[in-house]
Amino acid sequence: MRALLKLKPYLTKYQKTLIFGLLTVVGSNIFTVAQPLFLGHAIDDLKIGIESGKIFGGDFLKWAGLIIGFSLVSGIFTFLTRQTIIVVSRHIEFDLRNDLLAHLQKLSYSYFQNKPTGDLMAHATNDISSVRNVLGPGIMYPSDTVMTFVMVLTMMLVQDWQLTLIALIPLPLVSIVVYRLGKSIHDKFTKRQEQFSLLTTRAQENLSGIRVIKSYVRENFEIDRFASLSWDYLKKNLVLARIQSLLWPLMFLLVGFSIVLTIYFGGLQVISGQISIGTLSAFLAYLVMLIWPVIAFGWVINILQQGAASMERLMNIIETVPEIRDTEQTDTTITAIKGAIEFRGTTFTHKNTLQPTLRTINLKIDSGMTVAIVGYTGSGKSTLVNLIPRLYDISDGNLLIDGKDIKTIPLEVLRSNIGYVPQETFLFSDTLADNIRYGADNGTEEQIRQAAEISQIAKDIREFPKGFETMIGERGITLSGGQKQRTSIARALIRQPKILILDDALSSVDTYTEEEILKRLRSFMKGRTSIIISHRISTVKDADLIVVLDKGEIVERGTHDELVTKGGIYADLHEKQLLEQELEEL
C-alpha cells in the first residue's frame, strides 16, 4: 500500500476539484440519509390513515413529496461527484501515462537491452488502468461509504442504540475476512500482471518478427507457445477470480445475518409496543443502506490491493535513475559544438561482462575530418561510435568534444548536433516525408528534398505513386534494405549535424549508388566531422584517416595507401575484397 503514497503529487495537482467532489459526496449523503426518517413517518401516517378510514390522511403526502425531492437532489449531487472525482482520475491517468513515457525516454540505452518491449507495454496499459481505479472508484467509494456509514450509524443509534448494537454483531467478521483475502488478492494479482507481461512480450515479438516466423515456417510453433502462455494467464486469472468470488458472498452473508437479527429483535419490540412499525421500517432502511458500504469496503480493498501491486511495478520503472543524464558536472553555458573528438585512454566494459569491449583507445579527430573505422566482426566498432552521443558512458579514461569532457556537455546539445545512422535501420509507420523530417524540427519541403537527393533516395521516391507522401509499413517493411538505409541517412542529414556517424549504413546499397552518396556527402560535410564504419574498403578508402580495430584495440591507423603498404589487417581485408570483385567479374 505504501506505493500508493507516490500518487500524492498527482492528487495535489487537482486538489480543488477533489475537495469539491468530496463536498458533493457529503451533500449526496445528507439528502440520502434523511429519506428513511421520512419513510418511517409516512408508514406511521399510513397506518393511522388505514385505521381511521382515511388512507392518505395526515402528512402522508408531505412525506412522500419530501422523499421524491430529496432523492432528486441526492441524484444531482451524485452526478456532480462522478463528474469531479472520476474525471480527475482520468486526468491523472493521462498525466501518469505521459510521465511514464517521458521517464522511459530518459533511461539509458542499456536499460532497454535488458527489458522486453512487451513488458513495458503491459505497464503502460494494464498497470496504469489499475492505478486509475484507485484514483477514481478508490477515492469516490471509500469517501461515500465512510460518510454513509457514519451518518447511518448515528441515525440508527439515535433511534434505538440496543437494536443497533445487535445489528452490528456480524460486522467485525467482515474486517477479518477482508484483511485475510486482501493480502491473497494482492499476491495473486501481482503474479497475474507478471504473466500478462510475458504474454504481451510474446505477442509483440510475433508481430515484429512475422517475416522470420513465416520464412522458417514456425507459425504452429509460435501458436503453441502463445497458447501455453495464454493458458498460464488464464489459470492465474481463475485463481484470482476464485479468491475474489469468496469476498462477495461472504459480504452478503454477513450483512444478511444482520438483517435477520434486526427483523427478529425489532419485530419483538414492535409486538411489545416499544417502537412503531414506521420506526422499524426506517431502521431496516438504514440497515439496507449499510449493506453497500460494507460490500463496497471489501470491493475497495480489492481495488486498492490491485492498484498497489500495479503501482509497485510502475515505481520500479519511474524510480530507476537514468545512468546517463545531465548532472552537476554539466555546463549549461555550452549551447553548441564544433565537432572535434578525442579519445584519451578510453576503456569501455559492458554490464555483466568481465572483458572490456574497448581497451585504452587513443584517437584524435579534428573538426571537419572524415574518419573511417574498419575491423573484423565483433572488434568494437559500433561500441566506439556509441560512446560519442553517450548511448553508453565510458568505463575509464576520457572522451572529449571540442576539448571539453563529454559529461560536461548537456545531453540535448550533444545529441542535437549529431546525425547518427545505426546498423539496425528503424523507420516509423508514417510517410517518407515525415520519416525524413523526424531528424529536424519543422524541416521544410526543400530541406527534405535536399537531404533525399544527397542520400540518393529521391530518385526512388519519385517512382512512388504518392512521392514523399507515400506511407510505409511498420519499420519500413514496404521498402528494400537499401531504400531504408538511404531514408535513414536523409533523416540524419536534414538536421545539419556537426558530427555525422554512419554505422555500416551503406551495406545494402550497390557500389554505384554508394559512390554517388559518398561524393555528395563530401561536399555536404565540409567543415563537419564524419565517422564512417564499413566492411567495404570502397566505402572508406578516401577517408582522411582510417582506423583499424581488433579485439577492442586500435591496431592500425593511416590513409588507404599507407595501410595497404603496411600489410596488416586492412591490407588483408582489401586483398580479399579485390579477389571477390575479380570472381564476380569472371
Helix axis angle, 137-167 relative to 128-135, nearest 10°?
50
Length of the chain: 586
356-413 tens-digit pLDDT: 999 999 999 999 999 999 988 888 999 999 999 999 999 899 999 999 999 999 999 9
Predicted pLDDT of residue 175: 64
23-70 tens-digit pLDDT: 998 888 888 888 888 777 777 777 766 665 555 555 767 878 888 888
Find out whether 163 and 266 touch, Cβ atoms under 8 Å.
Answer: yes
pLDDT higher for 256 or 407? 407
Residue found by looking up cell 521544410 in the block: 444
What nine digits make up the cell of 568? 596488416
- Domain 341-585 in CATH: superfamily? P-loop containing nucleotide triphosphate hydrolases (3.40.50.300)
Predicted pLDDT of residue 501: 93
Predicted pLDDT of residue 298: 65
All CATH 3.40.50.300 domain ranges in the chain, comma separated: 341-585
Count of C-beta atoms within a 10 Å radius of residue 19: 10
Pairing status of strand 553-558 against strand 545-550: antiparallel
Predicted pLDDT of residue 490: 92
What amino acid is encoded at 458 in this protein? A
Over residues 16-25, the mean pLDDT reads 89
Q: List 548's β-bridge partners, or say none.
A: 374, 556
189-201 tens-digit pLDDT: 778 877 887 888 7
All CATH 1.20.1560.10 domain ranges in the chain, comma separated: 2-318
Q: What percent of the chain has pLDDT over 70?
A: 93
Predicted pLDDT of residue 345: 93
How does DSSP classify residue 471?
B
* Radius of gyration, CA atoms only, the chain: 36
434-443 tens-digit pLDDT: 888 888 877 7
Pairing status of strand 358-365 against strand 341-348: antiparallel
Q: How far apart are CA 201 and CA 122, in angstroms?
A: 8
* Cα–Cα–Cα angle for 379, 510, 480, rounded to 5 degrees: 90
| Share in percent of the chain as helix, strand, coil (round to 5) | 65, 10, 25
Over residues 424-453, the mean pLDDT reads 86
- Domain 2-318 in CATH: superfamily? ABC transporter type 1, transmembrane domain (1.20.1560.10)
Predicted pLDDT of residue 2: 67
pTM: 0.71
Find out whether 45 and 57 touch, Cβ atoms under 8 Å.
Answer: yes
Residue found by looking up cell 486509475 in the block: 132
Predicted pLDDT of residue 585: 65
Over residues 147-169, the mean pLDDT reads 82
What's the start-to-end Cα distance of the chain, in Å?
74
Return contacts of 76-81, CB within 8 angstroms, 24+ apart: 77/24, 77/25, 77/27, 77/28, 77/31, 78/24, 78/28, 80/21, 80/24, 81/21, 81/24, 81/25, 81/28, 81/140, 81/144
